[in-house]
Structure 1
Amino acid sequence: MSRLSLAVAIPAIALSSVASAQDRADDIVITGRALSLTTKVTGQTVTTVDEAAFRNTPATTIADIVKLSPGVAVTQGNGPRDVIVSVRGSNARNGFGARNIQVFEDDFPVTQPDGLARFDLTDPHAYGAVDIVRGPSSARYGNYALGGAVNFRTRRGRDIQGLEVGSDLGGDGYGNVYATIGHAGRGYEYAVFGSFVGGDGATGHTGYQTGTLNAYATYALGDRDRVAAKVIYNEGEFALSTRLSYNQYLANPYQQGCERAATAASGCGTISVLVNGVNGTRIAQTAAEGDLARNDRRTIAGLRYEHDFGADTTWRTQATFDSRVVNQPTSATPFKGTLDSYNLTSDVTHRTGGTTFFAGIFYNYLDNQSFSFNKTPAVRNGFGAPTQTVFGDIRNLGARARVEMTVTPTLELIGGIGIERSTIDVRQTAYAYPLNASPTITLIPARRDFSNVAPEAALFWQALDAVRLHARVGTGYGIPQANSLFITSAGVFGNNTALRSQKNTGVDIGAEIAFGDHLTGEVTGYQEWFTDELVSQSAGVNLLAYTSNVPKSLHRGVEVGVSWRPLPGTKIEASYSYNDHHYTDFSERLTAGTMSVVVDRDGKAIPGVFPTFVNARAGYDQPRGALTGLGGFVEVTYRDRYFIDNANLLEIPAYTLVNANLHYDPPKGAGWWSRISLYASVQNLFDRTYIGSASVIANSLNAATGAQNPAVVLANTTGSIYAGQPRTIYAGIKSRF
């Protein structure tokens, strides 16, 4: 795989057949001869974004990295560092974290067995590259890989060879102090990263502080044995604002003057809390008044062992422990939980001639212990009577196999299959507190077993020296979330245990073109057929998001990436993505009072998905002389308008953002000043007010007429919108020792 320092990278089938020295070192020290997870994926569309693309930028969240890939859209999640990453429209409906894609770090899993990963887990300054695999990939990555996979790779000790310290400052009280120590020697390598980050946030009540430790080390036990170890620790305190209705956003996008509900300015969001935390009288509170917040702690520890049976056969075994402890008074029903998981894999790679054989088994287990409560007016610690508990476990057990066969020097065939048995075995206890009556307790057990098979086939053809082609058929699947089994379409606790696995069969055809080192490009077209797609949407303010199955939907689109270096030091990079995602078989029931209507959604666009988005960057870095490393760039981001309801009535406006960057990053060995790097950046240069995130909302009926309420009514549906970041200036300095 070529290692590209591109804002828009070309798919990971190498543009050059000669691996770099660092690739060869990776093979020897880190992965041996085992089949790599994401760095050498053949026959599939893969983008690698190298550290050079984001090294001299604020990189406040991982959005600053992954947004540079075609086919990837990023929106704001719940909290200042949380972002939602959507690959080909996957995860677009989710309000936080990552679902429908598998996430890894240094080949260790970050997605837990319930399908959730959080992108506020670590600091982007720790990373040296990120690989984004696009398209349904359950044959390779298992459950939840409907949209593909993302693998973050931390910086290697050999690239550091000492100590680096840095600091970033920015508007709205943003500050980040970080350091990395790393070294590599004969048979060993390590890198340890730590940071402390905080900020006040542009939107009212969105301040935060979070600390991160991230370490990765490898050690050769001998000529045939290697071990790798991984540790991630993150803990953060996040103040959260409420999501707004569209009309509230127009009136007060950054929620200023919202300290108290009694004196709140126009457009402030509120939640309704019980005065005594059980039943009876409710009062309205703003986010600041109720001190809505998250205090989450994540600990991941993994160990990988590899043994070569000979020159052609490698056995690899890996174990990962992942603990997620959450305390989230974020709404009218605060949530607490401890979710510890265990992930085991073991596989064998055998290479003979031009053919690679791979086979492996895997098992993962999540122990779910979670609690929900009524919120009281007593700010962050205002936990009232319990509303539900969920105890149980989620298990995935399976096997996968793959063969990559070189038929001719220019043609390679790939085939694979994954088989998986998943079990959700959980028990919900729901608590109700009727007025003037005794509390009721309802136990709902849910034991669901799912069996899924995911085949794939692909070919890769070196048509010409400058042209590479691939074609692929892949499949993906994802079981429901455990909590989705206990939330009805009314947005309240109850039985929703009939949910089925969602499945995706996709075809994509791609081409790469390389005209020397100055112009490279890629284009990929895809079409994916979903069955039983799991969709979630808000039932309204103070109600819970619920999930349902859509019998059939169609996802299709085009992804284009270009990188051009017309003159020494100049670079122009751009990506274009088009998504046409719509329902082909879906009828939705809407109810209001005694009215109940079934509405046909066939042909409607799937809400939350950007139809078109573009990223482009034009820059210059002085290539030689005394000012080598002095440069800058201008970056433009465009996001098309999109719907946020199944009836396609309420549309979020399009927006265009411009960022500007100036930096000085001299090469190593240029003198004492080469130990210092500087940058200054302006994000959202023209201070555009835009919607940074909009959760999907439920359509509703007019109780008198039975007609669907129009967009002017939906525009008052709260719990959906966060404003994007206004113009913000950042500056940073980094020193190497």
Structure 2
Amino acid sequence: MKKNKLIQCLALFLIAAAARADDPEPRYQMPPIEITATRAPREGFDLPLATTVIAEVGRARPGLSLAESLRPVPGLFIANRHNLSQGDRLSVRGLGARAAFGVRGIKVLLDGIPLTMPDGQSQLNNLDLGSTGRIEILRGPSSSLYGNAGGGVLAAHTQALVEAGWRVEPRLIAGSNGLFRAQTSLAGRADNTHAFASVYDLRSEGYRDHADARARGLNALVGHALTPHTELTLLLHLYDAPYLFNPSSLAADAARDAPRSARGFVVGQGASKQVRQGQGGIRLEYRPPHAVHHRASSLVLYGVGRALKNPIPGRIIELDRRAGGLRTEHQFSWTSTRLVTGLDLDFQRDARREFANEGLPEGERVADERVFELVQYGDSQVDQEEQVRSFGPFVSLERDLGDALTATVGGRYDRYRFAVDDQSRDMDQFSPMVGLVYRLDPFSRWYAHVATAFQTPTTSELGNRPSGEGGFNPELGPERVLGLETGLRRHVRRVRLDLEVALYQLQIADALIPFQVESEDSEEIYFRNAGQARNRGLELSLSAVPHPGLRTTLAYTFGDYVFEDYEVETDGELVQLAGNEVPGVPRHRLFSALSYESPHGLFTEVELERVGRYWANDFNGPPPGSDAVSDEFFNSAYLRVDLRLGIDYRAARPFVAVDNLFDAQYNGSVVPNAFGGRFFEPAAGRTWRLGLSAEVGR
């Protein structure tokens, strides 16, 4: 309790100090930062919720993990699994940390096209960080705008297009653990048409054994002004991964003594993934030329196709997915009132087949796509078609209550239908929100926000049943969230300093919790609803440019995530876990960075991240009756330092980078509640990379 009060006092002191440091002049204008993830463009400084914009995503980075670019975001924890088969595990304020794979609890968009499926699962395969120029993050319950978005929103945007002419930019990166990435992007503009395209090829042997990966992709965007007031945009994203091997997790002793290793059973089962995915969309935007109240309208149509082969210990999964939908948004304004309304319609159809995994032939070890020819299929276990349909109208009304106060109210009604063969389940929820923003002065804002959220189980979570039966788990229900938040923002012009502090509390009912059954022959992850959990915390972010070319960044997160009511049966008895910490997320995380870019093009950046220890299971230690020691059940704290150096010399940009400069040994992620204590996914030690990009154009 004393530590919590100390942190809050420190945050208020920083705000007060920033306020004294500035003597605002009426003529000075802050640089506007526009946020589009709010479904109507708004200036981020005036929003009643916590936001962050990352403007430089891919510079001197390999594009393997979102953690490379999003560490400066407080409240967001990215567990880099160093495993391209499983991908990053993202959590915002503790929500999403227990995803078995992919991203849960966060709505993900790419150029306005959803990467989140109707069931709430997001696959980031189509998010090419090498061609991403900007990412917006909304933190906190966002179901009033997006439905399945209990933790927030992540909206990525393709690199800025050229104003005129054309530009070609080839890029090469090579580094440790067999990393090689080649990418070429092309951007151009002529008359009323602009276009962008990027292709890449990625190869990696991985830090750990059985972690080889190969992937390639194409991202393309073409926009055309049909009239001075109407624009049509076509988008295409293709992803092809012939093989992504999965080294899985390790017990504490193996993670400590042999972090590069993969268990023999995992290797023998050919644990891996092959993915082919295509996604296309059409966006039509209209701004009335002589509007009185109607300001803009937009329509988005999108479609997704995904083919997956996925041998895992115990099973082989084959999935053929078709999904798509429609999004509409309409903006209206009056003298002191602004209104946004719209509708989302989405569908998802998965043809799922599952077989027993008889493993690779004895003595066979492969590190490429031949694994899918050699792995031996056993008996058919599941053969079913799963469907999800969702319907979600929303409205958001903003009104100025005088010169200094603005109120926002909104809500969304979501209805989901999950169907498998002859079974179906309906889930629905109305998600309201209320927000206030008070302008203390031209450079300071206080805000408060109350919202609810609703997260359905995904089809994978519903379909994975400990009994092994087909169909959906009738006992698994949605997770519901009530969020309270308040915060302060301050801009100090003398040193171009931006400061934001946020305090929040989330009350979570029926939280979705992963677990594994006692079996040496399976690593299947199942889900159950916990009783109640409470997440609360503090977020602090600061960035400043005290001297031209010099930038400093600081982000601190404190999170107190605990179960309030959660009974688990063990050895035939119910054990109450109230008061235990929710596993998979740290209480403390600190990030700082210092960068400098000289007038001659030389740039350097140093980043430091300190992550506190956190538990790996719900028991916060050995389960009742176990003689294991507590050290085997938590992920130790760690400190890592990254360094990047480069120069912009005419049209060429060579760079060198070293990650984990001091070769710290740590685990980048845990698998909560894994059987046999196999919680830990070791991170790479010191790694290096060299890169070169060039720009040609006119």
Please give the TM-score of this superposition, normalised by the length of structure 2: 0.87
Indicate conservation of the 8 Å contact 1:127/1:152, yes or no: yes
1:524 paired to 2:530: no
Change (3 A) 1:510 1:184: farther
Residue number in structure 2 paired with 1:375: 357
1:322 paired to 2:301: no
- The one-letter code of the counterpart of 1:484 is E
Residue number in structure 2 paired with 1:281: none
1:360 paired to 2:342: yes
1:336 paired to 2:318: yes
Change (3 A) 1:590 1:78: farther
Distance 1:552 1:644 in 2: 19
**Could you tell me how far 1:77 is from its partner in structure 2?**
4.0
1:695 paired to 2:671: yes
Residue number in structure 2 paired with 1:567: 547
1:56 paired to 2:34: no
- The one-letter code of the counterpart of 1:534 is L
- The one-letter code of the counterpart of 1:451 is D
Pick one of 150, 166, 170 that aligns with 2:154: 150
Change (3 A) 1:321 1:40: farther
- The one-letter code of the counterpart of 1:621 is E
Residue number in structure 2 paired with 1:385: 379
Residue number in structure 2 paired with 1:642: 614
**Could you tell me how far 1:560 is from its partner in structure 2?**
0.5
Distance 2:386 2:312 in 1: 24
Indicate conservation of the 8 Å contact 1:38/1:131, yes or no: no
Distance 2:90 2:390 in 1: 24
Residue number in structure 2 paired with 1:45: 50
Which SS does the other structure have where 1:65 is aligned? helix
Which SS does the other structure have where 2:49 is aligned? coil
Q: What do residues 498-531 of structure 1 show as CA deviations (whole Å, max 9, x unaligned)?
A: 2221111101111111111432211101101111
Residue number in structure 2 paired with 1:484: 461
Indicate conservation of the 8 Å contact 2:168/2:187, yes or no: yes
Indicate conservation of the 8 Å contact 1:156/1:182, yes or no: no
Pick one of 252, 277, 280 that aligns with 1:246: 252
Change (3 A) 1:384 1:553: same
Residue number in structure 1 paired with 2:444: 467
Residue number in structure 1 paired with 2:73: 69
Distance 2:70 2:93 in 1: 13
**Could you tell me how far 1:330 is from its partner in structure 2?**
2.7
Mean Cα displacement is larger for which, 501-510 or 408-417? 408-417
Mean Cα displacement is larger for which, 724-733 or 185-194? 185-194
Residue number in structure 2 paired with 1:109: 114
Which SS does the other structure have where 1:329 is aligned? strand
Change (3 A) 1:635 1:347: closer
1:510 paired to 2:487: yes
Distance 1:38 1:372 in 2: 48
Indicate conservation of the 8 Å contact 2:98/2:584, yes or no: yes
Residue number in structure 1 paired with 2:412: 418
**Could you tell me how far 1:186 is from its partner in structure 2?**
4.1
Which SS does the other structure have where 1:217 is aligned? strand
Change (3 A) 1:366 1:227: same
- The one-letter code of the counterpart of 1:404 is E
Which SS does the other structure have where 2:256 is aligned? helix
Q: What's the % identity of the aligned pairs?
A: 21
**Could you tell me how far 1:568 is from its partner in structure 2?**
3.1
Q: What do residues 444-469 of structure 1 show as CA deviations (whole Å, max 9, x unaligned)?
A: x5311111000001011220223111
Distance 1:518 1:561 in 2: 14
**Could you tell me how far 1:224 is from its partner in structure 2?**
2.6
Which SS does the other structure have where 2:312 is aligned? coil
Change (3 A) 1:114 1:77: farther
Distance 2:43 2:496 in 1: 26
Indicate conservation of the 8 Å contact 1:620/1:631, yes or no: yes
Change (3 A) 1:662 1:496: same
Distance 2:615 2:662 in 1: 25
Distance 2:39 2:486 in 1: 27
1:226 paired to 2:209: no
1:586 paired to 2:566: yes
Q: What do residues 131-152 of structure 1 show as CA deviations (whole Å, max 9, x unaligned)?
A: 011000100111x200001011
Indicate conservation of the 8 Å contact 1:491/1:539, yes or no: no
Distance 1:41 1:240 in 2: 44
Distance 2:68 2:681 in 1: 18
Distance 1:566 1:78 in 2: 36
Which SS does the other structure have where 1:158 is aligned? coil
- The one-letter code of the counterpart of 1:385 is D
**Could you tell me how far 1:631 is from its partner in structure 2?**
2.2
Q: What do residues 75-126 of structure 1 show as CA deviations (whole Å, max 9, x unaligned)?
A: 1348337211111112111232101111000111011112111224332110
Which SS does the other structure have where 2:203 is aligned? strand
Mean Cα displacement is larger for which, 654-663 or 314-323? 314-323
Q: What do residues 285-331 of structure 1 show as CA deviations (whole Å, max 9, x unaligned)?
A: x41x4432211111110111123344242232111101221111132
Mean Cα displacement is larger for which, 485-494 or 130-139? 485-494
Distance 1:503 1:489 in 2: 24
- The one-letter code of the counterpart of 2:309 is N
User: Which 5+ residue runs of structure 2 have no aligned equivalent?
Assistant: 1-17, 19-27, 361-370, 622-632
Indicate conservation of the 8 Å contact 2:208/2:260, yes or no: yes
Indicate conservation of the 8 Å contact 2:82/2:684, yes or no: no
Change (3 A) 1:164 1:235: same
Change (3 A) 1:71 1:208: same
Residue number in structure 1 paired with 2:647: 664
Which SS does the other structure have where 1:125 is aligned? helix
User: Which 5+ residue runs of structure 1 have no aligned equivalent?
Assistant: 1-9, 11-15, 256-267, 272-285, 428-444, 666-672, 699-713
Residue number in structure 2 paired with 1:448: 425
Pick one of 531, 542, 546 that aligns with 1:551: 531
Residue number in structure 1 paired with 2:277: 298
Distance 1:487 1:403 in 2: 41
Residue number in structure 2 paired with 1:191: 196
Residue number in structure 2 paired with 1:430: none
**Could you tell me how far 1:41 is from its partner in structure 2?**
7.8
Which SS does the other structure have where 1:566 is aligned? strand
Pick one of 77, 82, 89 that aligns with 1:84: 89
Which SS does the other structure have where 2:650 is aligned? helix
- The one-letter code of the counterpart of 2:402 is T
Indicate conservation of the 8 Å contact 2:270/2:359, yes or no: no
Distance 2:43 2:208 in 1: 37
- The one-letter code of the counterpart of 2:426 is D
Pick one of 512, 519, 524 that aligns with 1:534: 512
Distance 1:360 1:460 in 2: 23
Indicate conservation of the 8 Å contact 2:46/2:445, yes or no: no
- The one-letter code of the counterpart of 1:448 is R
Residue number in structure 1 paired with 2:128: 123
Q: What aligned pairs does 1:162-177 form with structure 2 within 5 A after superposition?
A: 162-177=167-182
**Could you tell me how far 1:251 is from its partner in structure 2?**
2.9
Distance 1:180 1:470 in 2: 41
- The one-letter code of the counterpart of 2:619 is A
Indicate conservation of the 8 Å contact 2:219/2:237, yes or no: yes
Change (3 A) 1:495 1:137: closer
Mean Cα displacement is larger for which, 343-352 or 684-693? 343-352
1:734 paired to 2:693: yes
- The one-letter code of the counterpart of 1:453 is F
**Could you tell me how far 1:717 is from its partner in structure 2?**
2.5
